[in-house]
Structure 1
């Protein structure tokens, strides 16, 4: 059974160390190869653009003074074609201007060096944060997350940064709520992934963290307005509206998406029906957050549920957002051995592996654009498991436990 095989690794410190070293070397090798790929060295002189190419273009436009133009798909598409030296797939830009400002220093480096700096720094930050949360479970998590980490490295996306921010939020919230709130406020660069954490703060009445997060959002918005002008916000709103239409029409790589919307839409359900399916899944995900906050077996497990729910709410979520799942699993693992059977834990680990590996494998295959978004179905199944465990924990409380549940009261025989 997968759970028993993975958890067996934990029995020996030397074995854990070997797995960690091997996986870290493999990740470093992937980063090195992709650095040459982005730098267009050798056989990669002519290639399609990837996500980090868009990041680098935006960084350059910040210094050219016309970053607002990247929010117009026709204009940004021409910029991408010029960067590719010909026709290429077009990527719309819907990031808040705070992310534009964060990317700006990368414009001073060639594309390959900029990719290496961005990916190495954010990957290191993510791994350090994950290690601080996971402790002795770090090697097990690296194995489960390896496909998701490889996907994120491959496209040069910001999944490591957002994963680290959610991890820092969870790591600091209990004893350093201001730092936790500041980390959550920095998620303004990708606000749809912070909804679950915001609901958790409201449910637990963490007013200090809420104030800190709100301050980051407000101050950073004022700075962006001062630097880019107030028109940057209307440009962002216009781009979001335009991109929503493209999402409905299936112009995105839906097979790489991890949302319920993508899963249902690629299963031949019309966009309107898939949207309402997404609404239902998002509501259940937020219900899981509230249940975890109010009736969960421990604060760590509740925060783990919150982190995992973060990627289940928005219809616009990709496989490169999956590192956040690793943060959630790291927080939940200490309780999982008591509230979930080995079969259930195996299912959870397998679903995370599937979600990360699916887009990575399929992106090399013909016919990928019409493939189902299996990662979305995997996350729906994960949500069902989380709700099952939370309801099981709540039932144990109703049966006579008080305060935090005793570990043995939640044990589920295999």
Structure 2
């Protein structure tokens, strides 16, 4: 999907982001990521070594306790919040449900055989190693950029609570690398694996349809089918009705309590923060999601748009179209910045570098603020992230229109 000359030009733009100042910024940002990761994992080992403390108050406790229940031969008990809470023993009155398909439960099954701290550490290491592997082909000759994206501050929220956003992002980047190289079936397999966390994958399907990548669509569909059917055989068909029931309940709770969910960062939450009624804001979000789908379809259908611009547009559309965008999902912003840089949308000007920095940081300031309390977290999240995403999309659209006019003038002459 990308000619050799366009690929070399994109690689050169990334490689140009070097020098001592760049390395200084990279050192500061990646050090922050490592410090946060080190502190949370050290805390996990220290606290769980104490008698009676089984897990930490974080999202990973749900994954760990679900894996333990499944290993104990009770996979359907993952939909019983009381059983999950009894297994991890932390914040037992909190609403922290299991909302994943059966394939993901089988994937994390090994975590249930480990103590919480070791399972949490392994999850983090695997996620970071996979994103580092996936990013290699997009950062050749640019070690500073590669390192910056391997340990981007935007990953801090996911690391601190043990979420799976980095793992999902690694799968998406691997799929994009395969698409760029024309490895349609492999790309489809990677995309099919993304259905283990399906809520962010709608725009990926739209992109494939827009580009007419039917072999990738077939491979993705077959992979998704296998990842749904085989685990269902192992866990039982009763899994799906329970999952659908839990997803409906989760959606209703989110709509009712959206104004209080200060770790949301998407347009829907921003609109409610600005005073719009929850139901009205949700309809506006649905409209924005529809516009994002049209944009992705046309972008990936276009022969004039370059591959990196398509990848950047897809990532931005994923983030802007998600009705419930949590701060840990802002991990995708760092890679969106990479593709905007590769596409030539972001250059070396100070405003562009500032926007690139904000994309790289993602929701890290909001995550750090949870512990340091240096401001109102709402204004460090949605008030910053949604405008940054919209500004990035506006620059991308401007770039695409300028490229289109240039191509038309060249053809006319």
From 17, 22, 45, give the equivalent of 1:39: 45
Question: Which position in structure 2 is the counterpart of 1:128?
Answer: 133
2:259 maps to 1:259: no
Q: Structure 2 CA distance, aligned partners of 1:159 and 1:345?
A: 26
Q: Deviations over 1:331-387 (max 9, x none)?
A: 2312235x7683552453254256422421332367999945733652354234324
Return the offset for 1:321.
1.6
Return the offset for 1:280.
2.4
Q: Structure 2 CA distance, aligned partners of 1:316 and 1:169?
A: 24
Return the offset for 1:61.
1.2
2:113 maps to 1:108: yes
Preserved contact between residue 258 and residue 355 of structure 1 (Cα < 8 Å): no
Structure 1 range deviating more: 19-28 or 189-198: 19-28
* CA 359–11 in structure 1, closer or farther in 2 if over 3 Å, else same: closer
Q: Structure 1 CA distance, aligned partners of 2:405 and 2:65?
A: 56
Q: Structure 1 CA distance, aligned partners of 2:147 and 2:82?
A: 36
Preserved contact between residue 82 and residue 92 of structure 2 (Cα < 8 Å): no
From 369, 377, 381, give the equivalent of 1:374: 381
> Gapped runs of 5+ residues in structure 2?
1-13
Preserved contact between residue 309 and residue 396 of structure 2 (Cα < 8 Å): no
* CA 185–298 in structure 1, closer or farther in 2 if over 3 Å, else same: same
Preserved contact between residue 34 and residue 154 of structure 1 (Cα < 8 Å): yes
2:335 maps to 1:327: yes
Q: Structure 1 CA distance, aligned partners of 2:277 and 2:195?
A: 31
From 198, 212, 229, give the equivalent of 1:205: 212
2:160 maps to 1:154: yes
Return the offset for 1:63.
1.4
* CA 366–340 in structure 1, closer or farther in 2 if over 3 Å, else same: closer
Question: Which position in structure 2 is the counterpart of 1:411?
Answer: none
Q: Structure 2 CA distance, aligned partners of 1:85 and 1:173?
A: 43
Return the offset for 1:325.
2.4
Question: Which position in structure 1 is the counterpart of 2:75?
Answer: 67
TM-score (structure 1 length as normaliser): 0.83
SS in 2 for 1:92: coil
Q: Structure 2 CA distance, aligned partners of 1:369 and 1:98?
A: 38
Q: Deviations over 1:389-414 (max 9, x none)?
A: 324423442454489x9xxxxxxxxx
Question: Which position in structure 1 is the counterpart of 2:96?
Answer: 91
Structure 1 range deviating more: 275-284 or 127-136: 127-136
Return the offset for 1:141.
6.9
From 382, 390, 401, give the equivalent of 2:397: 390
Structure 1 range deviating more: 274-283 or 180-189: 274-283
SS in 1 for 2:257: coil
Q: Structure 1 CA distance, aligned partners of 2:376 and 2:397?
A: 36
Preserved contact between residue 263 and residue 372 of structure 1 (Cα < 8 Å): no
Q: Structure 2 CA distance, aligned partners of 1:99 and 1:151?
A: 21
Q: Structure 2 CA distance, aligned partners of 1:44 and 1:141?
A: 39
2:223 maps to 1:223: no
Question: Which position in structure 2 is the counterpart of 1:173?
Answer: 179
Q: Structure 1 CA distance, aligned partners of 2:393 and 2:377?
A: 30
Structure 1 range deviating more: 368-377 or 311-320: 368-377
Return the offset for 1:259.
1.8
Question: Which position in structure 1 is the counterpart of 2:5?
Answer: none
Structure 1 range deviating more: 104-113 or 347-356: 347-356
Question: Which position in structure 2 is the counterpart of 1:361?
Answer: 368
Q: Deviations over 1:267-314 (max 9, x none)?
A: 332221121121122223223323432165411221121123222222
Q: Structure 2 CA distance, aligned partners of 1:11 and 1:377?
A: 27
Question: Which position in structure 1 is the counterpart of 2:286?
Answer: 279
Structure 1 range deviating more: 81-90 or 304-313: 81-90
Q: Structure 2 CA distance, aligned partners of 1:333 and 1:218?
A: 36
Preserved contact between residue 9 and residue 16 of structure 1 (Cα < 8 Å): no
Question: Which position in structure 1 is the counterpart of 2:246?
Answer: 239
SS in 1 for 2:81: helix
Question: Which position in structure 2 is the counterpart of 1:342?
Answer: 349
